[in-house]
Structure 1
């Protein structure tokens, strides 16, 4: 990896600066209505220092937003502690303000009234509240729109209102949950630059930020450190330091190398070989299926085939216009089905994958069926149970009950839904949604009866 290279330092936190947020031994689990315990975060250790920007990067479901809400004091840990300047956080964190993806503005309030909300909650007097709100509105470039309603504003302007509302309460730490993901590319880029300018102002009381993002490029552009979360449950799997001068973009020396490092961290945990079944029930013990759409997986394999069978993951993401949350399930599915493997940062087609990419529609179905039967224990077991059943029928709950041995009820239903989609595409079984019954295709049922 390239993370140890010496580069011109960015204006990050200085040596010896104070720790603003400290997370120690944080564990979080949720309990389902059926009593199942679902671990979400495990043994999180995190320190956020004064004057730095830290990005949380991970696959969908790794617990990024959940961790952010613990730091904001909106969720309580199952065990472990969150501290703000040394004091335990046992409720809303007084040193933080939150910026959301969805803008979260009150549509019946004007821009100024929306910005005043936090000050009003803190009991600030109306005159002072108005003055501070107008200053914040001017700071984010919305002077002249004080009396406008959210419906009159563009997406970028609404998010500027969100910035103003968060910054007007003068938090030590700005917590951001994918704040640019709902914006178009150009607007998002403008706001990222404006955010960096706001945090870098010497007179600004807010100079520290924690950003949840699904964009590797965004993390490298904004952050001084990138924390990469593993999944099931969420853990901090790696830390990347971003010692690059600002402003940064893809032409900045070292930028592309850090993007590749981040992809390597995100993919390096997964084995190319499916877990052996051993003596366990394959429905309860097998690794979860990646949430991948067959059509998108096919497109990924075709893209690889058109590029001589191999592409670096960042280049592949750019070619498909995918972020991490979109790309990684497809990469995992390609590896699971033995269609591709990761080799020194590149996703490389196997002979099986190249055969699938070049096959016609009907042949692809047969090839896919062979791949899932060989590599996906859940689908193979469902098919076996159907072949052995009377009438080629299997009640859905017989599968979900056994899946519950290894996961929560919600996760079990998601896994079964994905298995059904893959199995139907491969024509290995059918599904009656009204009666919630899995069925053998008619020709297989007839053939099984003949035997």
Structure 2
């Protein structure tokens, strides 16, 4: 039975500069009774905005959200939320924090106290009813947040990156606690919707994973997780599912980004960049130095390395590696296939070069693979005095992108061009010039 349904949701906001920003585009999702669904995506994919839209806290610009067949025009009555930051009132005790939602609903003191104590006990916090948040560890604070949600007897529990602020062991323990509460039918709880960027977490918890693309947020995959519970993270089937989701998150974006047409005319090349979809043309926010460091590590594994293992070795979330991975694939230096990353022949050529030659190699690669860098270089070579105002490039990019995105793309291109000694930029005068080495 469908519990919550979103149909063709679009959400736009106005920026401080009066520009219309599209955050969600044509988003549809159904949460059925009795299932756990994970919304997975990179930072900036609109995961939290979508969750709040389904909770009735953010109205869609167009499209609709319904709860048990009835369209929402306010907060979803069947949903309770758990937040990443715990969101506890520091001046209230554990018991008083858990009672907040019931108090807002006008539940009597005796009844809400009884319900709060029961919820506190169900999440393993009995004995801490009179403690204040400052006396609790991060894991215990999140338990309070979960108890505060469960005491409302929701049909669906919405969780927004609930374990990302916790240490590994505490997070793992709490995941199991939540799964136990769901499987035991705690209260009226029927379904769980969890937002995460942790792929292993999504596979461990969810019956279905909805993968979002970015800028704006849109659904790119809906993947069933048909693995028996409890799930063994080391089982081949579990690892295969993780690899499949890694492939979706990394492969789809890389496929479009790698298809970069050559531009015969420099200024028309910049215009062409501005006219194309920014989602297909976004330069990853990665520095050449960071990319060089990643290549050096991956090159140490002749047969490549799984992304999960790489992230663990670096003590990073995989989400933090995505910009570097995107940059490496865009430049043809890395190959990412089903969650496994290897260094290409081009990547080895750059990685093996000495300091001076590495700049020459990088310049050649950037000119071959990055239309914006190539367009700026050609525009400078065809200008009368070998210089251009940076705002010219930004203005052309702004034809299809918000100003902050256009400027970010411009500065990434400048950083890559500077590293390859193709061109230089005087920020004080906003002047681009060809580098002497390029001349």
TM-score (norm. length: structure 1):
0.87
What is aligned with 1:220?
203
**Aligned twin of 2:258:** 273
Which residue does the alignment assign to 1:427?
Answer: 421
Per-residue deviation at 1:241? 1.4
Give 3-state SS (helix, strand or coil) of 1:40's partner: strand
Between the aligned partners of 2:306 and 2:341, the Cα distance in structure 1 is 6
CA distance in 2, matches of 1:344, 1:194: 30
- Equivalent position of 1:62 in the other structure: 45
SS in 2 for 1:23: strand
Distance 1:356 1:254, change over 3 A: same
Query: Contact 1:57 / 1:212 at 8 angstroms: preserved in 2?
Result: yes
CA contact (8 A) 1:250 1:256 kept: yes
The answer (yes or no) to whether the contact 1:228–1:266 under 8 Å persists in 2 is yes
Corresponding position of 2:358: 364
Task: Output one character per residue of 1:165-197: Cα deviation in whole Å (capped at 9) or x when no partner.
Answer: 111111111111111111111111111111111
* Shift of residue 22, structure 1, vs aligned partner: 0.7
Aligned-pair CA distance for 1:277: 5.1
Q: Indicate if the aligned counterparts of 2:380 and 2:434 stay in contact, CA closer than 8 A.
A: no
Of stretches 416-425 and 146-155 in structure 1, the one that deviates more from structure 2 is: 416-425
Candidates 201, 206, 221, aligned match of 1:238: 221
> Are 2:304 and 1:284 equivalent residues in the alignment?
no
Distance of aligned partners of 1:441 and 1:119 in 2 relative to their CA distance in 1, 3 Å threshold? same
2:129 aligns to what? Answer: 146
What is the DSSP-based 3-state SS (H/G/I as helix, E as strand, rest coil) of the residue aligned with 1:299?
Answer: helix
Q: 2:377 aligns with which of 373, 378, 383?
A: 383
- Once the two structures are superposed, what CA deviation does each residue of 1:279-303 show, in whole Å capped at 9, x if it has no partner? 6514414601012233332222122
- Is structure 2 residue 399 aligned with structure 1 residue 405? yes
Give distance in 1, aligned partners of 2:150 and 2:393: 50
Alignment of 1:7-26 (within 5 A): 18-26=1-9
Matched residue, 1:12 = none
- Number of aligned pairs? 428
- Equivalent positions of 1:248-263 (< 5 A) are 248-263=231-246
Residue of structure 2 equivalent to 1:326: 320
Is residue 183 from structure 1 mapped to residue 177 from structure 2 by the alignment? no
Q: Does 1:443 find its partner at 2:426?
A: no
Answering whether residue 211 of structure 2 is matched by residue 247 of structure 1, we say no
User: Is there any run of 5+ residues in structure 2 with no aligned partner, and where?
Assistant: none
Provide the rounded CA distance (Å) in 2 between the counterparts of 1:136 and 1:431.
Answer: 60
CA RMSD of aligned residues (A): 2.4
User: How far apart are 1:259 and its partner, in Å?
Assistant: 0.6
Q: CA deviation at 1:393?
A: 5.0
Deviation by residue 1:87-124 (Cα, 9 ceiling, x = unmatched) = 11111111111111111112222222222221122121
Q: Which moved more, 1:318-327 or 1:234-243?
A: 318-327
Stretches of structure 1 lacking an aligned partner (at least 5 in a row): 1-17
State the 1:268 CA deviation: 3.3
Deviations 1:412-449 (A, max 9, x none): 2222232233333333344444x3624437735xx86x
Mapping 1:291-310, distance limit 5 Å: 291-308=285-302, 310=304
- Alpha-carbon distance, 1:21 to partner: 0.4
Structure 2 CA distance for aligned equivalents of residues 350 and 170 of structure 1 = 53
Whether contact under 8 Å (1:396, 1:436) holds in the other structure is: no
Q: What secondary structure sits across from 1:440 in the alignment?
A: strand
Q: Is the 8 A contact 1:137 1:164 kept in 2?
A: yes
Deviation beyond 6 Å, 4+ runs, structure 1: none
CA distance in structure 1 between the aligned counterparts of 2:134 and 2:434, rounded to whole angstroms: 52
Preserved contact between residue 32 and residue 409 of structure 1 (Cα < 8 Å): no
Deviations 1:115-145 (A, max 9, x none): 2221122121222222222222222112222
Summarize the alignment of residues 191-202 of structure 1 with structure 2, pairs less than 5 Å apart. 191-202=174-185
Q: Which residue of 2 aligns with 1:169?
A: 152
